[in-house]
Structure 1
Amino acid sequence: MLRYVASGGSLSGKVLALQQRRQFVVATALTLGGFVLGKRARLADAMERGELHNKNDDQQLKRQEEIDRRLRALSNSRPMKPRYEGHIPLYAHEKLLLFVVSGLKSYLHPEDGMNIVQLGEATAVPIFLESLKKTMLSDKTGRRILREQPNIHSDTLHMNKLSKMPKNTLGYVYYQWLKKEGVSPDTRAPVRYIDDPVHAYIFKRYRQCHDFYHAINDLPIIIEGEIAVKALEGTNMGVPMALLGALLAPMRLKKVQRDRLYDIYLPWAVRTGLSCKPLINVYWEEILDKDIDELRQELGITPPPDLREVRKERSRIRKQLKMKYDSFEAQI
């Protein structure tokens, strides 16, 4: 009897312990389930309120903040605060270094347009830009260009409209030249290293009008055509980089190319640049429907011989001479 009671007490204790463990497991499961479900519910609520953040977005925000911090540090280390969008102020020794490095690169790699761009700004000294500014201020159209500060790009020129203009208009001639050369008015680099905002715009205007000088004279963008246009710009507007290019660039050419330049295109460029009206004062965007021949007459420009045809004619003569030589060799 005593043994039975003891055994019964032990059994009831085990049952009690088992019940307690079950209660603990159930309570734990309910707590864990409530935590998971509650977390999901909180995430859903946060998503609905737009408070949920993406880790990638946070990382991107941190990177942008770091970039902004570095830009502020760079700005604080400059000789002045930027005076227009994209302006990078340089110290005097940095401008000198830019001139030396871009000059060497332009001579060794003239095919890289960025070298020419940097050399142009490095040589655009204030005295030249101020002289060009006075030229514009002395002319009614030049003053209006300075006041309105137009930009030349595809949207303002309405390229589709130019393609439908009469064939002898400036707009159509310009459009066809761009198409033939495979270039666009949108490829001109912005000005960065010129400190005065007005000077910076004048240089940008000169740079954006460069293709018009090519088009009205039908000069291609091969190196001989570029040198001829640079010589025209240098003598007409006094652009230092253009004068340097006209003087030094021919040194890298073949003899036949130099002969063509010295005999035909450089004399034409110098004569035309000195005698024609200041090209910086032409509001090209407003005269796109003008007859090209009348415009040339008004500006005092007579186009040079077609450079493409001159090169083709020389190539044709060389082929004829080679054929005659080969025929003579075969007869011997």
Structure 2
Amino acid sequence: MLSLGRLRAGGKGVQAFRSGGHIQSRQFFLTSLATLFGPIIFSENNRLADKMESGQLHYKDPNSVFNQGSNEDNRYFKRKEPNYPGHVPLYNFEKLLMILGSSAGAYFHPERNEFIVGLGESTAITPVLRSLQHQMLSDPTGRKILKERPRITSTSLDLDYLRSLPENTIGNSYIKWLDREGVSPDTRVPVKYIDDEELAYVYQRYRECHDFYHAITGLPIIIEGEIAVKVLEFMNIGIPMSGLGALFAPLRLKKSQKERLYNIYYPWAFKSGLNSKPLINVYWENILTKDINEFRKEMGIEKPPDLRNLRKEYFEKLKRAKKI
């Protein structure tokens, strides 16, 4: 006869056998399912992956209405198609908002270039640009500029070559001014908010020639020098932003700065701007070896008093007054 202990042990063995049998049966069942349906599932996944890779699989993006101006589902706001690479077409209300925002930004933070850029392009109205375009088309050099569309960059000008030019040449004066002021021609950003392609280039040309106006006048990029050059530009070229700068920028200046502007540099800028030949028609890249004094004489531009020397004399005078 079997003892009670062996019966109990045998019972546990039977239960373990039965449990193990269930596990084996379940594993066999799952393995069979995987064998039957696995290829179908993986085949479908591979098919979807192939379609996704080839760009054939698409889904409805709920944000596409807002992210794509050309989306047909956007009934309320559709961005116009760009007219040239980099162009950002704006509606009139957007231009108005840009004028207001950039005007406030330029007034309180004139050192921030994005406000100056936004204000310049948003106020560059079509009639003014058309007038400049006509002025260029009426001049042989202006027509050549519009035809060839040169760009003023550190690569196109070869700055090392400019440093090798004689001291009184336009090219050498230009590179010396850049080095002294610590600026580069590459800082002039591309135009993108002006709709007409050729008018956009006209404004781009004006923007990139700005440093040459500084170089031939010797005016630095400190606030007084910038305002004086803006007045010169407005009287000669007529860009609205230059006039706005001349009108409102001095309001934040000190008394001594206003006196220098109103008594010296505004009269100079009015006279030189009105008497000078159109600066927009100067092909600077082709006259870099020209004597700068001869150029001023031919154009009808007088060289203004040295602004840095005037400021230096003023501060020295203040120091002497404090010692007394």
Instruction: Quote how far apart the aligned CAs of 1:73 are.
Output: 4.9
- Aligned position for 1:111: 111
Q: Post-superposition shift, 1:250?
A: 0.4
Q: 1:315 Cα shift?
A: 1.1
Name structure 2 gaps, 5 residues minimum.
1-62
Offset at 1:310? 0.4
| One-letter amino acid matched to 2:207 | R
User: Separation in 1 of the partners of 2:111 and 2:78?
Assistant: 31
Letter paired with 1:215: A
Q: Which amino acid aligns with 1:175?
A: I
1:124 match:
124
Paired amino acid for 1:303: K
* 1:314 aligned partner: 314
In structure 2, how many angstroms separate the alpha carbons of the residues matched to 1:149 and 1:70? Answer: 33
Question: Post-superposition shift, 1:147?
Answer: 0.8
In structure 2, distance between residues paired with 1:122 and 1:74:
26
Between the aligned partners of 1:208 and 1:311, the Cα distance in structure 2 is 28
Give the distance between the partners of 1:186 and 1:111, measured in 2 at CA. 17
The separation in 2 between residues aligned to 1:178 and 1:193, in whole angstroms, is: 27
Aligned residue in 1 for 2:204: 204
Superposition deviation, residue 79 in structure 1: 4.8
Q: Distance in 2 between matches of 1:151 and 1:93?
A: 31
- Equivalent AA in structure 2 for residue 162 of structure 1: L
Partners of 2:71 and 2:90 in 1: how far apart? 11
1:179 & 1:74 partners in 2: Cα distance?
48
Distance 1:78 1:146 in 2: 32
Relative to the length of structure 1, the TM-score reads 0.77
Task: Provide the residue aligned with 1:63 in structure 2.
Answer: none
Alpha-carbon spacing, 1:213–1:91, altered in 2? closer, same or farther (3 Å): same
Which residue of structure 1 aligns with residue 181 of structure 2? 181
CA contact (8 A) 2:234 2:242 kept: yes
* 2:260 matched residue in structure 1: 260
Q: Which structure has more helix as a fraction of its residues?
A: 1
Following superposition, the deviation at residue 70 of structure 1 comes to: 3.8
Contact 2:69 2:79 in 1 (8 A): no
Amino acid at match of 2:93: H
TM-score (norm 2): 0.78
- d(CA) in 2 for partners of 1:141 and 1:205? 13
Shift, 1:72, TM fit: 6.3
**TM-superposed deviation, 1:80:** 2.4
Asked if 2 retains the 8 angstrom alpha-carbon contact of 1:78 and 1:89, the reply is: no
| Aligned sequence identity (%) | 56
Q: Give the equivalent residue in structure 2 for 1:100.
A: 100
RMSD: 3.7
Gaps of 5+ in 1: 1-65, 326-332
CA 1:189 to 1:71, structure 2 compared with 1: closer, same or farther past 3 Å?
Answer: farther
Aligned to 2:168: 168
Tell me how far apart the structure 1 counterparts of residues 168 and 272 of structure 2 sit (CA, whole Å): 22
AA aligned to 1:284 is: W
Equivalent residues in 2 for 1:265-284 (5 A)? 265-284=265-284
CA change 1:125–1:316 in 2 (3 A) is same
Match of 1:87 in 2: 87
| Residue equivalent to 1:300 | 300
C-alpha distance in 1 between matches for 2:220 and 2:85: 32
